[in-house]
Structure 1
Amino acid sequence: MRVALRVLAVGPLSTIQDLGRPGWFSVGVGVSGAADRRSLKLANRLVGNDEAAAGIETLLGGLELRAEAPVLLAVTGAQAAITVDGVPQGHSSVIALQPDQRLRIGMATAGLRVYVAVRGGITVEPVLGSRSRDTLAGIGPQPLAAGAEITVAPAGRLPWPNVEVAPVPAVESGVVTARVLLGPRDDWFADARVLFRDSWQVTDRADRVGVRLARPEGAAGLRRVDDRELPTEGMPLGAIQVPPSGEPVVFLADHPITGGYPVVGTVLAADVDLLAQARPGQHIRFVPSQP
């Protein structure tokens, strides 16, 4: 291991994330991991890492890093200005830093979460097999703070990156479309397909645990058939849980593993990444998917 970077600024929230810690539901621990797994995987591929290597997830931007040794980076996810010593850099590109050079990520103009991968992968002490910070359970490495040192693993056996930039689509800034499988509790609602009739607005109550949505203007929301109580049951990633208000919550990476409100449907795993990048005020349109 070697110290590759020093953190100079962290923005609203910067955490270490990999692809999470599956297999611990039986002891009450969720998977966690990157909220937008697709962006972390891309950043890792760009620098020649395994897709599951730990990187940095930063909310909105504002992250500033100084190189302590020669290092190779990639920045993906939300659309934010990237500079090295004030010189603009390409999004989703491979960036080489020499000692004392500074990488700065500005505030995102579209999307919510930016990812930084470092060649070799970030090395912090794993907890239950993962280097991810679970913000709900409070396990894993502490969020980054100014002055922190970032160490990386040796990269000698890793393949050398063979691209300079990835031509990926920009993060959606308009209406986000997400596919949903109805169930298992869609029969608890007078008309579960209300979910698909209009777009829903992301509220400011959105974090790594989940995204609370506001009902369409003038709509009644998802109305329960009766006031039965539901025994606590398991909650998967992407579950659309509906509290008594009728306004759904979509669970993201740090979601609780059980819950007592009915789940009207589940967002397909491939589309959860899209919701992880949706900003407050943005609209979500759900479309039905077949099993």
Structure 2
Amino acid sequence: MTAHRTLRVVATGPLSTLQDLGRPGWFASGVGVSGAADRGSHALANRLVGNVATAASIECLLGGLELHAASAATLAVTGAPAPITVDGTPMGHSTVIHLTAGQTLRLGMAEAGLRVYVAVRGGFDVEAVLGSRSRDTLSGIGPEPLSAGVDLAIGSESDRPSPVDVAPVPVITTAPVIAHVMLGPREDWFADPDDLFVGRWEISEHTDRVGARLIRNPGFPSLIRLNDKELPTEGMPLGAIQVPPSGEPVVFLADHPITGGYPVIGTVVDDDLDSLAQARPGQSIIFRPVPGGRARHQQLDPQLDEDKQTP
């Protein structure tokens, strides 16, 4: 019988979890989608090693991950540009990396961006929960966060060839992130909802996979709510900008709650969410309105199975 191929986790960095594209279709049961926060980087890592986009990858916060190959393995590292070495030899970002048995891949700490993705050819073969190998940090569903000493089984390699050896990707920097917003559905709860688009906001140190928490840069107007009441609970989409009574918005990311009672002033368009998920504490966010765009009342997550959505 063929022995299982494995990668041993030597170090995890601040936080490393397994992620795929999430578990759509469980909204009516109270379970969110979750999945990779930066879906583009996750998909690219899988593409580089010849996996389907739904294969599980490791999402590592900032860097610091170390993986020891018990057997030969083919990997790719994308997302935040953390330095990569194999047994001390520097490796390229967004390239195909071949490890032989006994070699160790190490990630340094990224100077820009927030999340690094590591894919292995064959995918990480862990038990799926409700059809997904993603860790939902809000609900606690899915595989446990990685810890040192854990052996990660590698799935069977497909017959798909890796189409590329290196991929040109947008450079992730600490420059301000531009996020386009569809206003509504609760903009009428604010004295001047257009204050969202004035000047810059800043990512708080309390940001996580649930949401990008924002604070106001000095000199710019805060969002002033007309009252401090809560709405009846309503559906919350990925990218919703929810505003608690403090006036400091939270942009919902991969592990966001599926319902909430604070007013949603607008929703960040899907194309800008990967960049927002890579914004790190202290980085500036500039919101821009989508011309003529407005979020519909009780908008639900577009990734979900519409047959299982409830208003």
What TM-score bracket applies, with the shorter chain setting the length? over 0.9
Instruction: Tell me the equivalent position of 1:46.
Output: 48
Secondary structure of the equivalent of 1:289? strand
Secondary structure of the equivalent of 1:230? coil
Instruction: Tell me the equivalent position of 1:210.
Output: 211
Instruction: Tell me the equivalent position of 2:127.
Output: 125
- Ranges in structure 2 where 5+ consecutive residues have no aligned partner: 294-311
Instruction: Tell me the equivalent position of 2:90.
Output: 88
Q: Percent identity?
A: 65
Q: CA RMSD in A?
A: 1.1
For normalisation by structure 1, the TM-score amounts to: 0.97
For normalisation by structure 2, the TM-score amounts to: 0.91
- 2:111 is the alignment partner of 1:109: yes
Deviations 1:84-123 (A, max 9, x none): 0100000000000000001000001100100000001111
Letter in 1 for 2:68: R
Instruction: Tell me the equivalent position of 1:199.
Output: 200
Deviation (angstroms), 1:258: 0.7
Contact 1:3–1:149 (CA under 8 A) maintained in structure 2: no
Among 5, 17, 40, which residue is 1:3 paired with? Answer: 5
Deviations 1:217-274 (A, max 9, x none): 1333111123443111111111000011111110110011111100000011121111
Secondary structure of the equivalent of 1:110? coil
- Ranges in structure 1 where 5+ consecutive residues have no aligned partner: none
Letter in 1 for 2:258: I
- 2:254 is the alignment partner of 1:239: no
What does residue range 29-178 of structure 1 map to in structure 2 within 5 Å?
A: 29-157=31-159, 159-178=160-179
Letter in 2 for 1:171: I
Letter in 1 for 2:33: V
Secondary structure of the equivalent of 1:143? coil
Point out the structure with the larger strand share: 1
Deviation (angstroms), 1:33: 0.5
Letter in 2 for 1:197: V
Letter in 2 for 1:81: P
Contact 1:121–1:152 (CA under 8 A) maintained in structure 2: yes
Contact 2:51–2:158 (CA under 8 A) maintained in structure 1: no
Secondary structure of the equivalent of 2:45? helix
Secondary structure of the equivalent of 2:153? strand
Instruction: Tell me the equivalent position of 1:249.
Output: 250
Contact 1:74–1:117 (CA under 8 A) maintained in structure 2: yes
Structure 2 distance, partners of 1:162, 1:246, is 47
Secondary structure of the equivalent of 2:205? strand
Segments ≥4 residues shifted beyond 4 Å: none
Instruction: Tell me the equivalent position of 2:188.
Output: 187
Structure 2 distance, partners of 1:135, 1:156, is 30
Structure 2 distance, partners of 1:162, 1:233, is 43
